[in-house]
Each structure stands twice: as structure tokens, then as C-alpha cells.
Amino acid sequence: MIDSTTDLQAVQASLDSEQALLRQKQAIATERVVRLEVRHQALVTRCREAKEETADLALELEQAKFVFMADRGKLDAAIANAISTVEAKPKHESCPTPERFGIWNRNVSEARELQSQAERRYGDSYAYYLAVQWKWEAARERFEALAGEEADLREQLQPVLDPILPQVS
């Protein structure tokens, strides 16, 4: 009888020890899940922010493209005007007066100045477009990286978040 009581006590002690170990493992697992959930929520927030930034920059990029293309049209018009103004040089056969040559020279100077201004505006607007494009591409890459990280973390948490679904390996 003593042996069976001793055996029973040993079995009970072993069970108690295993239950304590299981509780410890469960506490560790719960702590890990809580840390992952907190990290996941932070990633979701960062993803939303990155997505909004990307969308805002996409809109800014479209606007910058519109401006630089309009400036390109103005530059083309200024170039055409300068060319036609230079080509309108009074012909020597028509015996132009010095005044007429003076007017033509002023017109050429003005046309070239307008062309120069149009070139600067176009250069500035194109540089701005390229800068916004670079920022948009960097923001898109950040968003994609964050979205991938969030998907990986969500996949790790899926059994915890939706324990009813069967797990696929």
C-alpha cells in the first residue's frame, strides 16, 4: 500500500511539474503573441501613413508633370517665336532704314530674352518634377517594404487571430 501511495504521489508530483512547465510555456507564448500584436499594430499604422504619403506624392507628381509639360509648350512657342523673329530680318533688297534694323534688333533681343525665361521656367519645373518623382518612388518602396513586413507578421499571428481556420503548411 505504501508503494502505491508513493507511486501515486510521484505521478502527482510529475503531473504538477508538467502543469507548471505548461503554464510557464503558455505565459511565454502569450507574452510573445502580445509583443507581436503590438508590433503588428505599429506596422499597420506605419503602412497607412506610408500609403497616404505615396498617394499624396502621386498627386503632387501629376501636378508637377502638368506644369512642366505646360512650360515645355511655352518654351516651344518661345523658340518658334525667336526663330521667326530672326528670320524676319529686313532684306537688303528692300532698302530698309536704320530704324527698321533697330526695331528688328530689339524684337530679336526681346524674343531671345523670352526664350531664355521660358528655358529657365521649364528647367525649374522639370527639376521639380524629377525631385517629386524621386520622392514618390522612395515613398512607394518604403510602403511596399512595410506592407511586406506587415503581411509576414500578420501571417505569423494568423493562428492566434483566427484559430478556427485550419492551418495550412
35-62 pLDDT, tens digit per residue, is 888 889 999 999 999 999 999 999 999 9
User: What pLDDT score was predicted for residue 121?
Assistant: 98
Instruction: Tell me what percent of the chain is helix, strand and coil, each rounded to the nearest 5.
Output: 90, 0, 10
CA distance linking residue 90 with residue 2, whole number of Å = 131
What's the confidence (pLDDT) of residue 15? 79
Residue 66 backbone phi and psi in degrees, to 5: -60, -45
User: pTM of the predicted model, to two decimals?
Assistant: 0.70
Query: What is the identity of the amino acid at 8?
Result: L
Nearest of 136, 84, 88 to residue 115 by alpha carbon: 84
Q: Give the helix/strand (H/E) hosting 92.
A: none
**φ/ψ (deg, to 5) at 85:** -65, -45
**pLDDT at res. 69:** 98
pLDDT less than 50: residues of the chain: 1, 169
Among 73, 74, 76, 102, residue whose Cα is nearest residue 90: 102
Mean pLDDT for the chain? 88
Query: What DSSP designation does 165 have?
Result: S
Q: For residue 164, give the amino acid letter.
A: I
